[in-house]
């Protein structure tokens, strides 16, 4: 907002061809033509990109020396204000929302909103009922408080629609599950599974 006020004071903004000098001038985007440096701009033009994040990319815009998920956004959709909503670890793959809608991002990520996020987990070892119960009741993962209760759904080869020769087929020493959580602590899913 400070930068916008400075641009207005410098006469870089026009409404219907007239230079604007006051930052509080009311405009209706559907009725007025607003230009910045002679280029027409649109108000509240949000962009939503659903991206399948592959392994090897970070869910960040500014980790030096790392490949960012923003590099995967098609060039015609690239904007400087796009940000990933949440994070998937570098070695994790899955659906990631990328947007410039700050209100939506906040609503999805704010701890107090408790939005459920579901992960497919394949882990070595057989999870027993007591392990599932610990995940579902909340558990200590080394933070200052317990995790919130999770939702857990066991998956077997039938529910995964896999045949025995499929590389994703859960063997006798693995467990597959859907884990839904409503918080987003650092490496939370990995830490929860390591805890059981």
Evaluate whether 33 touches 15 at the Cβ level (below 8 Å): yes
181, β-bridge pairs: 117
Q: Per the residue annotation, which of 16, 24, 62, 89 is the catalytic one?
A: 89
The edge-to-edge listing of strands for the beta sheet with 174-181 is 117-124, 174-181, 151-155
DSSP secondary structure of 119-179: EEEEEESPPPHHHHHHHHH----SSSSPPPP-EEEEE-TTTTT--TTSTT---TTEEEEEE
Q: Is 89 a catalytic residue?
A: yes
Distance CA 44, CA 63 (A): 28
Report, as residue numbers or ranges, the catalytic residues.
89
């Amino acid at each position: 907002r400070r930068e916008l006020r400075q641009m207005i004071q410098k006469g870089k903004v026009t409404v219907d061809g007239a230079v604007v000098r006051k930052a509080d001038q009311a405009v209706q985007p559907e009725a007025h033509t607003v230009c910045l440096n002679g280029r027409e701009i649109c108000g509240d033009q949000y962009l939503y990109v659903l991206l399948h994040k592959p392994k090897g990319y970070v869910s960040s815009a500014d980790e030096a020396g790392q490949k960012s998920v923003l590099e995967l956004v098609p060039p015609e959709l690239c904007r400087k204000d796009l940000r990933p909503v949440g994070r998937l670890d570098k070695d994790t793959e899955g659906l990631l929302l990328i947007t410039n809608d700050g209100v939506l991002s906040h609503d999805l990520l704010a701890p107090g909103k408790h939005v459920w996020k579901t992960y497919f987990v394949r882990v070595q070892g057989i999870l027993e009922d007591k392990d599932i119960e610990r995940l579902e009741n909340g558990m200590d993962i080394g933070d200052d408080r317990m995790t919130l209760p999770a939702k857990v759904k066991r998956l077997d080869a039938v529910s995964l629609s896999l045949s025995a020769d499929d590389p994703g087929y859960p063997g006798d020493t693995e467990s597959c599950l859907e884990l839904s959580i409503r918080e987003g602590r650092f490496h939370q899913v990995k830490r929860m599974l390591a805890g059981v």
